[in-house]
Structure 1
Amino acid sequence: MNPDWATVKNVLVMRLDNIGDVVMTAPVLRALKAVLPGVRLTLMVSPGGSAAVPLLPWADDTLVWRAMWQQLGGGTFDPGQEAELIGTLRERRFDAAVLLTSFSQTPHPAALACLFAGIPLRLGESAECAPGLLTHGPPSPTPEAEQQAERNLRLLEAVGIPVRDRALEVQLSGEARGQAAALMPGPYLLLNPYASCSARTYPPEQAARAARLLAEQTGLKVAVTGVAKDRERSGALLAELGPVGVDLLGQTDLATFAALIAGARLVLTNNTSALHLADAVRTPVLVTYSGTDYESQWRPRHAPSVLLRRPTPCHPCYAFECPFHLECLAFSPEEVAQAGLELLARPSPGPGALGTGAPSV
């Protein structure tokens, strides 16, 4: 291990993004706890990502902050707010900061704040050159298509911190499991039909038809999940499901949502946080995966999985809205249902088994 990192006791881990991104910090947090005895970990997250923190037992403390540089379209620069952030970081006297970003994000604003706060060790990766902001980073650029959890772990390995377990993991409380069981007392499929951007969203009514076809073939109920604002647009979807559907839109916090995923026979979702939670709890997951990203960047690594995507010349587009007609998600509900039946028919890999999922079609 790099000698500078071998003795750190108070570490800031920063991931200022969405719920799924925060869930994917689990292997980093776990590895730091396993290798650095007595280390105190503070996880710094966005307000939106903070919902995932109760699922990550390795974080000793949480710092929630809406960082200007993470806001879509750029936030409004407020010198007072930035000074407050630097002051908050300085007061906590961190020995080191681990700055987690995706391939398209820069760690330099965060590194600059940490530098001004007097944090001596700053670990991150950037495609840009800014001497003095980061003290440590990987010896060579991480490929753009690298899986996000692996990208995170590569930072630790760059300073010699060994990683013994690379899998996603979340902790589910007995209360969350009990609430999930009360909502869905019998066997069920889980349909999570909405995503944060339209370019990642398979048409919800078609997803509902696919789920209904699966329910008719398996005799299972369909738990429909989403946030409260999804209810306004769910009428046609719920009507398509009919009596097999159980409306849970807006009725769960993230912990209960994760427990519902853990209890499902199969999860049907887009490329969103449900994908990562299913991977963390090893529930089979069928993903209608749009062409916005490479499959390799976000695909499950341990849960049985199938990712469906039509090849398109615009892949990957990284767009929030598709300027065309979502040709990458041009699947019939019957095709989606058939993929789900085939996934359900696979032998269970058992705890700890590695499954990379089926290839895209």
Structure 2
Amino acid sequence: MTNLSTGKIKRILIRATNWVGDAIITTPAIRAVRKNFPEAKISLLAKPWVAPIFYNNPYIDNILLYDAAGKHKGLSGIPRLSKELRKKKFDLAILFQNAFEAALIAFWAGIPNRLGYKTDARSLLLTHCIRLKPAMKRVHQIDYYLGILEGASLKSDGRQLTLVVTDEERKHTEEILAEHGITGKDRLIGINPGAVFGSAKRWFPERYATLGVGLQEYSGAKIAIFGGPGEKALGQYISKLMESRCVDFCGKTSLREAAALIERCQLFITNDSGLMHVAAALDTPQIAIFGSTDHATTSPSAPRSQIIRLPVPCSPCLKPDCPIDHRCMKNITVKMVYDTAVKLLMKN
């Protein structure tokens, strides 16, 4: 494998990952790409639900959509996308997504330099193939993605996450909150009870409800429930348990609106999820509850983030649903989370 000649690279395509949390975790690597190629035009290819994470990112010049449910759908979709990319004459593709498909698209797009991990039988499609050492599977995901660049003798640029909320979005956030009787003087605590990957990652909604009521009584803060369209029923259930002493935003905000609302929170309490990494990128004080997943590789990377987990022999199992008794979550009591929340509220 030859080293990349940074002076000859003028147009770069970065293939984004497909999950919100993973997308945020790649932002230190994206900044490093800009550091190594300061004069290059950097475009990012992302699925529509992930793309908003990169809006206003100062290290990206252009965002391209991979619309797999629309114009890039079906058997003709990938060739069509590859043809579109070929017209842009990229010099280098950096593949943060590990799938075979990502390498195939870059290959068919005629991009002469294609950099990524040697996974999913795609070594023949990559010109700069980075061997995935076993130890890399145990490091934090930030370092995992930086490892792609370091494997090609490119320099990293720290581990700080990037997620930019604009003043206009902050103003819109205050308008949303005002509709629910929440003013700029009110403290706001966010609760994120869902997790798209599966139920094994979720602390129990009844406990979230009890926690929310307790923190409201302690601090006088307003409680906001966060979640996506698939978590509407969960938000409604917790709101009912709290006797509607909260604002339920589940399925009612865009990803950008959710991010701006999370930035407004004085405390965010969440499962291991995409919004957990949103809070970390914004350095919102947060408590992340871990059970089935590996905190060593996916914990929130921010100074004001704190995780709660209790080791059990079967964790991390990385399974979407617990096949036994969900002990990794059952052992985490409301009091444990409440006491940690009070300390963070006092500190911040």
C-alpha displacement of 1:189 = 0.7
Between the aligned partners of 1:133 and 1:124, the Cα distance in structure 2 is 10
Q: Is the contact made by 2:18 and 2:47 (CA closer than 8 Å) also made in structure 1?
A: yes
Q: Show the counterpart of 2:149.
A: 156
1:93-172 alignment, distance < 5 Å: 93-101=89-97, 106-127=98-119, 130-138=122-130, 141=133, 142-172=135-165
Tell me the secondary structure at the aligned position of residue 119 of structure 1: coil
Change over 3 Å in CA distance of 1:82–1:252 after alignment to 2: closer
Q: Counterpart of 2:304?
A: 304
Q: Residue 215 of structure 1 aligns with which residue? A: 216
Query: What secondary structure does 2:322 align onto?
Result: coil
> Deviations 1:274-304 (Å, cap 9, x if unpaired)?
211111111111111121x210111122232
Paired residue secondary structure (1:311) = coil
Distance 1:161 1:284, change over 3 A: same
Question: CA-to-partner distance for each residue in 1:48-86, whole Å, 9 max, x for gaps?
Answer: 222323253432222222569xxxxxxxx9542232122
Question: Structure 1 counterpart of 2:32, which letter?
Answer: A
SS in 1 for 2:117: coil
Residue 270 (structure 1) shift: 0.8
Matched residue, 1:205 = 206
1:27: how far off?
Answer: 1.5
* CA shift digits 1:285-334 (9 cap, x unpaired): 1111121x210111122232222223233322222222223211112222
Q: Is 2:229 aligned against 1:237?
A: no
Range with greater deviation from structure 2 (297-306 or 282-291): 297-306
If the length of structure 2 is used for normalisation, what is the TM-score? 0.87
Q: 1:57 to 1:242 in 2, by over 3 A?
A: farther
In structure 1, runs of 5+ residues without a counterpart are 69-76, 349-361
Structure 2 gap ranges (5+): none
CA distance in 1, matches of 2:67, 2:139: 27
Greater alpha carbon shift after TM alignment, 188-197 vs 139-148: 139-148
Q: Tell me, yes or no, if structure 1 residue 54 matches structure 2 residue 47.
A: no
Instruction: Supply the RMSD in Å over aligned alpha carbons.
Output: 2.4
2:132 and 2:17 map into 1 onto residues whose CA distance is: 24
Deviation at 1:248, TM superposition (A): 2.4
* Deviation for aligned residue 1:254: 1.6
Please say if residues 223 and 247 of structure 1, whose CA atoms lie closer than 8 Å, have aligned partners that are also in contact: yes
Q: Which runs of 4+ in 1 moved over 6 A?
A: none
- Structure 1 position 229, deviation (Å): 4.2
- Against the structure 1 CA distance between its residues 30 and 300, is the aligned structure 2 distance closer, same or farther, given a 3 Å change threshold? same
Q: CA deviation at 1:47?
A: 2.8
Instruction: Map Cα deviations across residues 203-222 of structure 1 (whole Å, 9 max, x no partner).
Output: 12211211221222222111
In the alignment of these two chains, the number of paired residues is 334
Match of 2:325 in 1: 325
- Partner amino acid, structure 2, of 1:118: G
Is the counterpart of residue 195 in structure 1 residue 195 in structure 2? yes
Partner-residue secondary structure (3-state), 1:234:
helix
TM-score by length of 1: 0.84
Q: 1:280 to 1:130 in 2, by over 3 A?
A: closer
Distance 1:228 1:128, change over 3 A: closer
The residue type paired with residue 116 of structure 1 is W
The answer (yes or no) to whether the contact 1:224–1:248 under 8 Å persists in 2 is yes
Query: What does residue 341 of structure 1 align with?
Result: 342
2:91 is matched by which residue type in structure 1? D
Partners of 1:266 and 1:284 within 8 A in 2: yes
Amino acid in structure 2 at the alignment position of 1:113: I
**Range 213-222 or range 52-61, more displaced:** 52-61
Structure 1 pair 78/179, CA: closer, same or farther in 2 (3 Å)? closer
Q: Relative to structure 1, is the Cα distance of residues 13 and 256 closer, same or farther in structure 2, using a 3 angstrom cutoff?
A: same
Q: CA deviation at 1:24?
A: 2.1
SS of the residue corresponding to residue 44 of structure 1 reads strand
